Structure 1
Amino acid sequence: MPAIKVAGNIEAEINNLLIGGNLADADLMAFEFIEELAEKNINLLADIDEVSIKDTLANYTNFLSVVDGILFERKNILLPRQANIFTTNYDLFIEKAASKLPNVTLNDGFDRTSTVGSRYLFSPEKYFDRTYRSGSANGRIAELPVLNLIKVHGSLSWHRDADKEIRFSSNGVSLSGHVQKNDPAAVSNALANRALILPNLRKFESTMLERVYFDLLRLFSNCMDRDNALLIAFGFSFADEHILDITRRALRNPTAQLLIFAYSSANVAAFSDKFSQNRNVAIVNPGTGAPTDFKVFNSILREVVPDGGKPL
């Protein structure tokens, strides 16, 4: 927000169509949802002077700078200078924001070690790499802060090669072209060409996407199993059943903690109900004050940085 409106109940609406046997209508709703996102991201990458895009990008840029500042304060080599950003969003606001911060290293999981071509292969094992820089005089090494971006539902920048591999789309985000919306086969084919986990009961249009999806969820689970793991949730309702179940199981780790920032007091009850059996969950309730939007969330995070850091 405000560049992209929240998804709302679109998954439930699509699922109702599928349950009722209206497959064509379900595909059309998903197609229009994705195409609207793609159009907004095309404007984002083209630096279109649109107020909502500029405001949203500023929030993401501020957010990445805060997390980078927190990681930079880690002086103990036993603590990796890494933070994992898990998102179910398809958009490229985080990638675009990182491009505006020369000191931020964003790892999106693609293997860019090859110097030939630009169709990089998605390799989740890259999330385990740590980056160091050494001095030319004394050979001392220092770990560089790295932000791992893990998009569990795929991305508009992902391209699927004939259902075999996921590669980075060097051509950026594009629309599906002149698709006849009254042709169910054309709409279905357009959806299948995108490497996305669609918001419906038929989440997996291929075994390849299913494998990637569960690999990334396993990575999420493994991160939560680490000692003193902290998961900060913002702008996420935990409506996704798989992610909710994994989070609940992961919270059996007694040293793990989940810190949820509720947008408003009206959202607190739903979170409390979902995690009623977990004692290591804290919910930040704005009460009767202003809602916890992205700007407020960033201002809270910035207090963690010594002297508050400097907002962008």
Structure 2
Amino acid sequence: MSEIYFYKGKEEVLSKTKNAGEDLNESDQIKKIQDAFSKVLDGKNLSFLLGCGCSSFVKEIDKVKTDVGVPTMMPLAKEFYTDILLPGDKLWLKATLKLDIEVDIFKRNLEKFLGTLHSIYFFYETTGQEKGAEAIKVAGIITQARNFLLKKCLNETNRTSKADKDLVELYKSFYRKLLYRNSNLPKPNIFTTNYDLYNEIALDKLGIHYVNGFSGGIQKYFNPTIFNYALAEKMDLSQSKWSVIDNFVYLYKIHGSLNWVQADEDSKLFRVREIQETSYDNLQKQEVIMIHPTPLKQNASMGSPYSDLFREFQKKLMQNNNVLIALGYSFNDEHINNLIYQAFTIPSFRLIVLGDNNASEEIAKLQSLDDPRIWIVGGELEDTNKLHYFKGFVEKILPDLSNDEIDHKIENAIRKLFKE
């Protein structure tokens, strides 16, 4: 028997139904959760927060379970410390910089390790010591970690062989289902901490237009004002009547992206450029790749473009009647968590977490608040998958508003056209 849970605050909705004498099997439990999500999708402002768990995808190849997507931060950290970082460098970091990779915060999260190294190197720069032996050593380890992340998140081997096809299809299914949300409502906001390009790949394959903060033609530069724009079609040629097109979303990569690089164009206020050629050979040549927490030198105090992206995140969270759905997010980023917690000052804000309430202290803390505006959904399915994984959410919970009636009408229309 599967073990599925659906909490609103501390109240377990499915247990309440069971205690009322209604015996629910897995299908009935999922249907009850899906019905609740159908109402959520009709809300005015809808936002998603996609964490690294969304791009991690395990499938069985030759009877061996293999991650064909992008590993999460803990496996990435383990692989880097074991296979890439030299034993001598580990000892040097601990003896000279007092940086011990066995400390839990670094052991579990490669981002924290890289961020700490950047802070140390920034100190060397601001004190004029960047040409010293210690600074050069730190810079070398930063480059190692950066290139390791770049290679793992690009996932070129699996992308080339199409071993990651199921992951691409999962992202496509996610966006395809979002398209059928009421077209009169504001377009959904997709926030992600991921550096990888699976969102963009899926959107491109589906022909969905998206705003990601970059504008331009041959060379695209970061410009946060673009988030205030929408793609619209003119409805009345004689008057200025416009309607935002249906296949349109906003994509915010709040920790940066593999294909964002530092640009040296003096005429641009925001010197961040989006590269279209995303091979490892091309990207590893770039001096600065804009992945968290790499700052631009000239904007180090402001932290652009990250400050602009986090400002947009905060602005969306503080809107009235906003729902944030967190998927594959471990709540290990204090900056993001604080912005989410601040949003609870808005009475109409609602947070829906797809996650394991037993494995995460932060999720358990959210549940302990006993706030009915906080939903926590997850659990084990009978097929050994997990409901709170991205795959479980997309396939089991996210309603497919396009199926049956709409698809049937389209098929009938095409059939009649060809017959006539």
2:399 matched to which residue of 1? Answer: 303
> CA 1:5/1:66 → structure 2, altered by over 3 Å: closer, same or farther?
same
1:107 matched to which residue of 2? Answer: 211
- TM-score normalised per structure 1: 0.76
Choose the corresponding residue for 2:183, options 74, 79, 91: 74
2:226 matched to which residue of 1? Answer: 126
Shift of 1:11: 3.2
2:162 matched to which residue of 1? Answer: 50
Contact 2:378 2:386 survives alignment (8 Å): no
Contact 2:70 2:153 survives alignment (8 Å): no
Contact 2:150 2:258 survives alignment (8 Å): no
Kindly provide the CA deviation profile for residues 144-201 of structure 1, in whole angstroms up to 9, marking residues without a partner as x: 1321110111111112113960111133343368x8xxxxxxxxxx685212214xxx
Q: SS state of the match for residue 183, structure 2?
A: coil
Of stretches 118-127 and 275-284 in structure 1, the one that deviates more from structure 2 is 275-284
Greater Rg over alpha carbons, structure:
2
Contact 2:259 2:278 survives alignment (8 Å): yes
Shift of 1:107: 1.4
1:33 matched to which residue of 2? Answer: 148
Choose the corresponding residue for 1:196, options 266, 273, 291: 291
> CA 1:61/1:172 → structure 2, altered by over 3 Å: closer, same or farther?
same
Partners of 2:308 and 2:375 lie apart in 1 by 28
Choose the corresponding residue for 2:316, options 223, 243, 264: 223
Q: Does 1:154 align with 2:221?
A: no
> CA 1:144/1:34 → structure 2, altered by over 3 Å: closer, same or farther?
same
> CA 1:176/1:105 → structure 2, altered by over 3 Å: closer, same or farther?
closer
Unmatched runs of 5 consecutive residues or more in structure 2? 1-55, 58-68, 75-107, 121-133, 408-420
Q: Does 1:142 align with 2:243?
A: yes
Contact 2:177 2:401 survives alignment (8 Å): yes
Unmatched runs of 5 consecutive residues or more in structure 1? 180-189
> CA 1:17/1:274 → structure 2, altered by over 3 Å: closer, same or farther?
farther
Partners of 2:348 and 2:275 lie apart in 1 by 39
Q: Does 1:168 align with 2:289?
A: no
> CA 1:159/1:268 → structure 2, altered by over 3 Å: closer, same or farther?
closer
Choose the corresponding residue for 1:6, options 48, 55, 72: 72
Partners of 2:369 and 2:287 lie apart in 1 by 39
One-letter code aligned to 1:149? L
Q: Which consecutive aligned stretches of 4+ in structure 1 deviate over 6 angstroms post-superposition?
A: 15-22, 136-139
> CA 1:253/1:207 → structure 2, altered by over 3 Å: closer, same or farther?
farther
> CA 1:26/1:172 → structure 2, altered by over 3 Å: closer, same or farther?
closer
One-letter code aligned to 1:64? Y
Contact 1:108 1:150 survives alignment (8 Å): yes
Partners of 2:309 and 2:117 lie apart in 1 by 28
Shift of 1:303: 1.7
Partners of 1:105 and 1:258 lie apart in 2 by 26
Kindly provide the CA deviation profile for residues 29-77 of structure 1, in whole angstroms up to 9, marking residues without a partner as x: 5224323235515863xxx2332x211111111111111222xx233xx
One-letter code aligned to 2:364? S
One-letter code aligned to 1:297? F
Kindly provide the CA deviation profile for residues 194-239 of structure 1, in whole angstroms up to 9, marking residues without a partner as x: 12214xxxx5363536121111111101101111001000001121
Shift of 1:249: 1.1
What is the correspondence of 1:275-286 to structure 2 with a 5 Å cutoff? 276-277=368-369, 279=371, 280-286=373-379
Shift of 1:143: 1.9
> CA 1:61/1:306 → structure 2, altered by over 3 Å: closer, same or farther?
closer
Q: SS state of the match for residue 266, structure 1?
A: coil
One-letter code aligned to 2:221? L
> CA 1:16/1:255 → structure 2, altered by over 3 Å: closer, same or farther?
same
Q: What is the root-mean-square deviation in Å for CA atoms of aligned residues?
A: 3.3
Q: Does 1:272 align with 2:364?
A: yes
